[in-house]
Amino acid sequence: MNAGQAHGRGGRGSTTSKTTLTTETDSADNDADLIPEAAETARPGIWELALPSILGNLSYTVVGLVQSKFIAALGTEGLAAVGTGQRIFFAMQAIMMAVSAGTTALVARAWGAGDYTEASRVTMASLALGGAMALVIAVIGIVFASPVAGVFGLDERTLEMAAENIRWLSAFNVVFAAMFILSAALRASGDAWTPLWMSVGVNILNIPLLYAFIFGHWGMPQMGVAGAAIAAGISFSIGVGVLLVMWVKQKFRVKHVKGGWWRRDRLRRLLDIGYPAALEQGVFQIGFFIFLMLIGIYYGTEAFAAYNIGVNILAVCMTVGFGFSIAGSTLVGQNLGAEDPAGATRSGWRALGLAIVSMGSLGLLIIIFAEQIAVFFLDDEVVTIQRTVEFTYILGACMPLLAVEFTIGGALRGAGDTRFPLMATILGLMVMRCGLAAVATYLGLDVVWVYAALIGDYVVKGVMLLWRFHRGKWKTVVKMPE
C-alpha cells in the first residue's frame, strides 16, 4: 500500500481537515447516513479494481462465446445478423457511455476528496439523466431497426434477423442503462466486487435463457437470433431489479439519496465531461459502420461474419484491458480528488504496464490456436474459418497497442479529459482505419488488407494518448467547486 492509500479517504490527511465540496443541504437526507465505514473509504489498489472488473467482463465474454456457438447452428447468416445487431446496439449506447464517463470522473473525484454525499448525488443524477436518454434511444431503435441494419449490405434474410435482434435489444435499453451507470458509480467509489457479483448472476441466468429462446426448448418459443436479445433483456432486468432494491435499502457504499441531487451545476459538469465522450462514441460507431459496410458490401457475408467471430474470440484480451481501464480511471480520479497528482500519474503508468503484459500474452496464445478455435465455432464453414484466422492474427498482434488505448484512454477520462480521446479516435479510426480500408477496397485487394487497416488505427491512437498523458495537462482539466 502506498502513502496515498494509507491515508484512506482523506488522501493526504485526516478527513476532518478537509472542506466538503458540496454545500447543498436537504431535509430529506441525513448526510451522516451517507458516510461509509472507514474500511470502505480506503483507496484501493490497481488489482483490487482490475481483477473483479476483469472477472465480471470475462463472464460476459463467456456468454458471448456461448451465444456465438448457439447462433452458429443457424448458419453464417445468423452470425452476421447478431454481429450487426450488436454493432448497432453499441452505437445506440454512445450516450450511455457519455453519462458513464461523467459519472466515473465526478464520483471518483468526490470520493477521493472525502465528499461521499456528493458522490451519491452524482450517482442519482446520472441514473435519472441516463434513464431518460435511454428511453429516447429505445424508441429510435425500435422504429428504425430495419433501415439502420440495411446499410451493411446484408442479404434479405440476414437483414430481417438483424432488425428483429435490434428491436428486442432496444426494448430493454433502459434496463441496460441502469446496470451500466450504477455499476460505473460503484467502481468509481472503489467497489468493483458488487458489479462482479451482479454480472455473474446475470450471466448465469442468461445462458439457459439463450438455449431456451434461440432453439425453443422448455416450453419457450423458438426465436432464433431474436431469442439472444430476449434472453439478455430478461436476465439483465432481473439483475437490475435486485441491484436497485439493494441500493434503495442503502446496502452499497454509494447511497441512494432522495433530494439535493437535481442541481444545474452538477448536471452541467456531467454533460461537460460527457458530451466529448458521446461524440467519441458516435465517431467510433460511425467509423465502425463505414469499416463494416466496406467488408459486407465488397467482400460478402463470410468476411463480415469472420470479423465478428474474431472479435468475440479475442474478447477475453479486451476484457482484461477493460479491467485495467476501470482501475486506471478510478484511481486517477480518486488521486486527483485527494490532491495527489503524482499518485494519479503513477496509477496510470502502472495500469498500462500490467495491461500490456496481460493482453499481449493472451493475444499471443490465441494467435497460436487461432485455427482450432475458429473450427470449434464454425464447424465446416471453410471460407469463414480462413477469414476468421486471418483477422485473429492481425487483431491478436495489436493487443499491446489496444492496451494503450484502454488504460491511458481510461486514465484520461477518469481525470475528466474526454476531449483528447475524441481527437485521437477521429484521427485513428476515421482517418487512418477507414481511409486505409477504402484504399484497399478501391484497389481490389484481398479482405485481409482491409482487416490490416486496424494496425494504422491503433498506432495513431496509441502515440497520441501516450503523448497526452506524458504532458500532464489532464491533471487540471476539471475544476471541482469549493
Model confidence pLDDT, tens digit, residues 27-47:
344 444 555 554 455 566 788
- The grid coordinates of residue 95 equal 450516450
How far apart, in whole angstroms, are the C-alpha atoms of residue 395 and residue 362? 12
**Over residues 251-269, mean pLDDT:** 81
Residue 156 lies in a domain: yes
Q: Work out the pLDDT band at 412, boundaries 50, 70, 90.
A: very high
How far apart, in whole angstroms, are the C-alpha atoms of residue 124 and residue 365? 42
**Over residues 445-467, mean pLDDT:** 93
Structure confidence at residue 8 (pLDDT): 34
Q: pTM of the prediction? A: 0.73
Say which residues have a Cβ less than 8 Å from residue 1's Cβ, sequence separation at least 6: 45
**Over residues 232-250, mean pLDDT:** 90
Structure confidence at residue 16 (pLDDT): 34
How far apart, in whole angstroms, are the C-alpha atoms of residue 450 and residue 325? 28
Phi, psi of 37, rounded to the nearest 5 degrees? -65, 155
Residue 349 lies in a domain: yes
Picking from 208, 206, 225, the residue whose alpha carbon sits closest to that of residue 84 is 225
Structure confidence at residue 266 (pLDDT): 81
Mean residue pLDDT of the chain comes to: 81
Structure confidence at residue 438 (pLDDT): 93
Burial of 460 (C-beta count, 10 Å sphere; 0-12/13-18/19+)? buried
Residue 9 lies in a domain: no
Structural domain for 294, as ranges: 44-476
What proportion of the chain, given as a percentage, has pLDDT over 90? 21
- The grid coordinates of residue 337 equal 480528488
Residue 434 lies in a domain: yes
Count of domains observed in the chain: 1
pLDDT of 238 above 90: yes
Residue 50 lies in a domain: yes
Residue 239 lies in a domain: yes
DSSP label at residue 426: I
Instruction: Tell which wins on pLDDT, 473 or 64.
Output: 473
How far apart, in whole angstroms, are the C-alpha atoms of residue 49 and residue 53? 6
Q: Are 438 and 458 in contact (CB under 8 A)?
A: no
Tens of pLDDT, residues 143-199: 888 887 776 667 777 888 888 888 888 889 889 888 888 988 898 888 888 888 888
Residue 472 lies in a domain: yes
Burial of 454 (C-beta count, 10 Å sphere; 0-12/13-18/19+)? buried
Cα torsion 316, 317, 320, 326: sign: negative
Residue type, 291: F
